[in-house]
A and B are shown apart, each in its own frame.
Chain A
């Protein structure tokens, strides 16, 4: 029997032990929790080597039949193909590092065992998502990661803000899930199958309307999970969760599930230009949206969260371009997984040293107190802005090039995004590690322990060297069996020019930040008198305000008026009838006995009716 199932089964079993084990597991729970993803990683690595050296396009394992009704069949079956393989390694690899880091980060939390239980649950669900070979089974993992995200955002649920943010994340994701559920139903109705194999086999016979509908429904699902406009509003609030959660779930893995879904469904998107264009537009809007928000935030985690939205926007943009972009979407997804996890954990290390302060206006000059955190963070910084040689340079450059190949306007949008990214990330670096001290009295910054810094160093190395995945076009060739051969579009300007242009724009962005935050003192309180643009960016570009006006308030009005109507209207009529039949006396007791009597009477009447019918039939 293939051991593939162990990849999912190990973290799932560990989660069960940790969550059901109770206090018995408190002493060693975190160790079991950290070993589980490492074990999965090892199994995943073995499978990866087997896949790379073998001749098969994928390793598969059929476990058992899940649902079987009429022509509706769904199996639990695992598909370890090149696309799943890189995800398995990313999830378990980065996941393991974050688990190890969490041993230190959550050291003082009395509910640490449960934290690890939830993290393992997340890993198991995420692995189900990427290993499933059927959309309905993907949906199982999809909602499973949603649940884990809910539990972890709300981990410190005694805080109202955390509990509200958790609920918001789940509900907004459910809006996306409607798209996923309907897409699966449409697949079943159209193809009689919901498996990747069944859908892709029938796709060329499907009408373009069906293809477009499927593409748009899956895009809705992707928008929810990947925090893309218009379902972006939950991600910034999700930073209420402990920082390792932000690193693993809300940066490196779960939020990229939307990109996975679009790339996995390449056989659908290749049939529909409308849906592809929609993906590109969503990606472009979100990459700018997130970047603009990132410029105005003082909360270090929110800057990183806005940046995550923006970077996933780049990936969506690339995935929407089609065969010219799929491989680069996944490439950027991997490098982003490295450098963003690196920076989130770095931010956690800073918070750890700064008495859980999150306001960058209370940081400054931390490079001396936390040299390892600073050095690794700096590598992540250079990677995300796309400094030549660092991993992000290779992956972002390819996406911007593909964007120019698609359309000049989209290329310019992606280029501008790179400039803004350089601005807000330089601002973050300056306010946190450079500039002057603005620490509060309680803060005594110190470097974190080894259990936290070693994962930082490993992730820092990956952020630096992640570009090797592109060496000799490896990532493109590797993914070819899944997404098809790369297409080269006609570029309006030479590729080298684009690279130089990107570098210049990045320099400008960084320089502007340096002028604004590097030379003068940074105010330790956010200035109140700011431009309308800053105000808008601080308010997340009014995403929440819009939701409130368009959905929440009308919804509340609708439910409260329905509750009123249900109590007075429908019920009132019945009560009125009751009072009429039961007599107008106010005494419930008499009313009640009146009813029992009339009930008995009616039974008698019914019996009489039955007798009459018998007589009538006999006579007839």
Chain B
């Protein structure tokens, strides 16, 4: 793991900053706006730090902002962090979405079980832990942070949101518990496997990548990690916790859950499953691709059939996560760069969709599609942003999700035509689930209860604007993101031991 050793521990500072913010917010007086303002302030400072780091980032430089200290010697556990292109993109996603969510959720904690200070405090805790998860280059550290993220999100879902939030929170925890246990077993197994190394046991990713784990053991340990990540992502058939959680939580919590936390699943597949278990990853590819394709189609069909707006969006995510996993296990540079970029884009588009529908629901007090109609007439800005967010979710060319979705499909096509063809049918279903929802809520005659629906306020527009702007800009100019991801993916494919298939016809050198 070569990379520039920095003297200033920027990554630790970035992760600790929101945690400090959380502590400060909890100490502030309750019932005033000051806690919210301080929360927003901390998240904006974190955003500024992360942008400065991105500016310093050298795309060809491997892991950067590396810090490494021994933690528990007898386990071989370290405090080791660093960012490659994938990690950087997901850290940026986290730091971008957190202030957006804070701004959008300004009043959403009212009526919760605990005070606004608690709500916003937990959001900052979640931000800090998420940054840690995406930065960890030690498996043990990753596992601890992975499990630790459950605490803030559990309290965010269970404490603030709809009437069935307790049920949803517990269901979420049950699934995570199941996945986490399997991963724990694999983490223990890795310790055993690495104990035979010359340097003694080590959880460092770098050391584990060069550890010979053995085929059978490797496959078992792979499964432990993979299933935990598949639950997190979530993939069919372990997806049913998501619609409940995303529907009952506040919109902001849903964003943090689906756009950020769920990415740990697909991030983990790339960072840990593929790097540590290359043989097992190749071995599992046919099954994983099948499950991914099923997720794409199944999630989309379920989305079409939903009556509840929030559940509908949750199911679209099941479909989108199917695309991401498909791209990862296509094991081609287009597939994996597409999948990694998809994680970022899905974070943006789903956040926009959850937030704008959240604004809609907060005005009317109902999540049911049939309770709306003709909203476009009274709230054109809301309808316009809703449509743009929806179009990004259906991957309209010109918007950033298209770039990633097409890369995933093209990368898949070169290795499996059937998988690519079936997944491509998903684009028709995506048009159906988005436009059918849009038609029923925004168009047609005004529903009597929506006649006086106010349009978006300045605060709400300010929360959505950065997301929509990024979606449009990266749709036409995705180069910065792709340039950061390409070297990471190249190294990963080398580690897995696969190469891109060559074109079947060696055409004349053109276009270069």
Contact = CB atoms under 8 A, between A and B. Distances in A.
A574 B75 contact: no
A458 interface: no
Nearest to A64: B477
A562 B298 contact: yes
A3 interface: no
Interface stretch (B115-123, B262-270, B496-504): B496-504
A64 B169 CA distance: 47
Interface stretch (B80-88, B333-341, B352-360): B333-341
Given A68-B479, A599-B177, A167 B391 contact: no
Interface in A567-594: 570-571, 574-575, 577-578, 581-582, 588-589, 591-592
Contacts of A190: 503-505
Contact of B505 (A76, A181, A206, A598): A206
Given A66-B478, A185-B409, A195-B511, A202 B443 contact: no
7 contacts: A68-B482, A70-B486, A71-B503, A154-B443, A191-B507, A592-B166, A617-B195
B476 to A, nearest CB: 7
B166 A158 contact: no
B427 A69 contact: no
B403 interface: yes
Contact of A139 (B301, B302, B397): B397
A55 interface: no
A144 B240 CA distance: 35
Interface stretch (A96-104, A170-178, A367-375): A170-178
Interface string A179-195: 00110111011111101
Interface stretch (A328-336, A379-387, A494-502, A602-610): A602-610
B397 A578 contact: no
Contacts of A475: none
B184 A609 contact: yes
B424 A181 contact: yes
Given A167-B435, A610-B188, A189 B414 contact: yes
A177 B337 CA distance: 23
Nearest to B338: A69
Interface in B318-364: 332-334, 337-338
Nearest to A143: B397
A198 interface: yes
Contacts of A70: 332-334, 337, 486, 500
Q: What 5 A-B pairs come out closest when comparing CB atoms?
A: A202-B507, A70-B333, A192-B503, A163-B443, A559-B305
A162 B377 CA distance: 14
A523 interface: no
Interface in B137-194: 147, 158, 166-167, 169-171, 173-175, 177, 181, 184-185, 187-188, 191-192
Interface of A: 19, 64-73, 75-76, 136, 139-140, 142-144, 147, 150, 154, 157-160, 162-164, 166-167, 170-171, 174-175, 177-178, 181-182, 184-186, 188-193, 195, 197-199, 201-202, 205-206, 210, 555, 558-560, 562-563, 566, 570-571, 574-575, 577-578, 581-582, 588-589, 591-592, 595-596, 598-599, 602-603, 606, 609-610, 613-614, 616-618
A158 B374 contact: yes
Nearest to A70: B333
Contact of A69 (B185, B337, B442): B337
A465 B428 CA distance: 42
A560 B306 CA distance: 9
Main secondary structure of the interface of A (DSSP, over half): helix
Contact of B305 (A150, A164, A182, A563): A563
B23 interface: no
Nearest to B177: A599
Contacts of A562: 298, 301-302, 305
A171 B431 contact: yes
B237 A570 contact: yes
A136 B407 CA distance: 11
B445 interface: yes
Contact of A185 (B175, B184, B420): B420
Contact of B507 (A68, A158, A201, A560): A201
Contact of A67 (B174, B241, B403, B445): B403
Main secondary structure of the interface of B (DSSP, over half): helix
A5 to B, nearest CB: 13
B406 interface: yes
B505 A205 contact: yes
Nearest to B405: A181
A509 to B, nearest CB: 39
Interface in B459-496: 476-479, 482-483, 486
> Among B185, B332, B504, which residue has the most Cβ atoms of chain A within 10 A?
B504
A182 B423 CA distance: 11
B241 to A, nearest CB: 8
Contact of B192 (A72, A76, A170, A613): A613
Given A66-B478, A198-B507, A596 B173 contact: yes
> Among A71, A171, A185, A592, which residue has the most Cβ atoms of chain B within 10 A?
A185
B221 interface: no
Contact of B334 (A72, A570, A581): A72
B512 interface: yes
B421 interface: yes
A401 to B, nearest CB: 36
Given A68-B482, A147-B396, A559-B304, A193 B170 contact: no
Contacts of B333: 69-72
Given A69-B334, A559-B304, A592 B428 contact: no
B410 A72 contact: yes
Nearest to A567: B240
Interface of B: 74-75, 147, 158, 166-167, 169-171, 173-175, 177, 181, 184-185, 187-188, 191-192, 195, 201, 237, 240-241, 298, 301-302, 304-306, 332-334, 337-338, 374, 376-377, 384, 391, 396-398, 403, 406-407, 409-410, 413-414, 420-421, 424-425, 427-428, 431-432, 435-436, 438-439, 442-446, 476-479, 482-483, 486, 500-508, 510-512
A158 B305 contact: no
Contacts of B406: 67, 136, 181, 184
A219 B305 CA distance: 31
A596 B173 CA distance: 8
Contacts of A199: 507
Nearest to B200: A617
Given A73-B512, A195-B510, A595-B173, A178 B302 contact: no
> Among A166, A167, A205, A591, which residue has the most Cβ atoms of chain B within 10 A?
A167
A199 B192 CA distance: 53
Contacts of A186: 413
B166 A588 contact: yes
> Among A143, A150, A555, A616, which residue has the most Cβ atoms of chain B within 10 A?
A143
A283 to B, nearest CB: 24
Contact of A192 (B169, B428, B507): B507
A178 B188 contact: no
A171 B174 contact: no
B305 A163 contact: no
A272 to B, nearest CB: 15
B504 A67 contact: no
A599 B500 CA distance: 43
A189 B169 contact: no
A163 B185 CA distance: 54
A73 B511 contact: yes
Contacts of A72: 333-334, 407, 410
Contacts of A188: 410, 413-414, 503
Contacts of A574: 171, 174-175, 240-241
Given A19-B384, A574-B175, 18 more contacts: A64-B477, A69-B333, A70-B500, A144-B398, A147-B396, A162-B443, A167-B438, A174-B427, A174-B428, A181-B424, A188-B414, A189-B414, A190-B505, A198-B508, A202-B505, A563-B305, A592-B166, A614-B74
A164 B501 CA distance: 44
B312 to A, nearest CB: 11
